[in-house]
Amino acid sequence: MSELQSICRTEPFNGPIEIGLRTLVILTEAFPAAYSLQRLVISDYLVVHSDDADGPQGLHPQTPRRSGELLVRRESLQRGLLLYQSRGLIERRYEPDGIMFAATEASAAFVDVLESQYVSELRSRAEWLVSRFKAMTDKELDDFVEKRLGIWGAEFEFESVLWEDVP
């Protein structure tokens, strides 16, 4: 079985298909800009948990230790990029700063035909994300995340300490 066939057989929730779609929407909003893999990992986290960055309500609920999602997204995101790249919706560019990913001319038309509340809200969050962070370099975005990493999800740890002695 090829790697692409393997991707298509995986579970859709927070797997390569869904993360790839979120990445496609982000890159479509950022078009014609190209993003590094690291920036895409962070962008995917921030589009899902936009409320962690003083943005609109997150697409997904705030869960304990959600900042750990940043550590486990990379592989699924890479597989999602491969899937959408194989369909001509994302392109890989070799630039002086490294390998970058961008939407293609076909991306916007594909995203425009998707009609669901989730995609509508995703597009809204992607617009906020690109607008909010486009002026930041990858290093500045890394620093932004690093300063807040311990806070995201930690509120649940404090709350659980408060409830330990309750009968």
Alpha helices in the chain (DSSP H): 3-8, 16-30, 37-48, 69-86, 107-112, 117-133, 138-148, 154-163
pTM, rounded to two decimals: 0.81
Query: CA–CA separation, 7 vs 50, rounded Å?
Result: 27
Q: Are 37 and 78 in contact (CB under 8 A)?
A: yes
Domain boundaries, the chain: 3-137+147-163
Q: Please state which CATH class domain 3-137+147-163 belongs to.
A: mainly alpha
DSSP 131-154: HHHTTS-HHHHHHHHHHHTTTTTH
pLDDT tens by residue, 136-154: 999 999 888 888 765 554 4
Distance between CA atoms of residues 58 and 68, nearest Å: 16
The whole-number average pLDDT for the span 157-165 is 41
Tens of pLDDT, residue by residue over 80-128, are 999 999 999 999 999 998 999 999 999 999 999 999 999 999 999 999 9
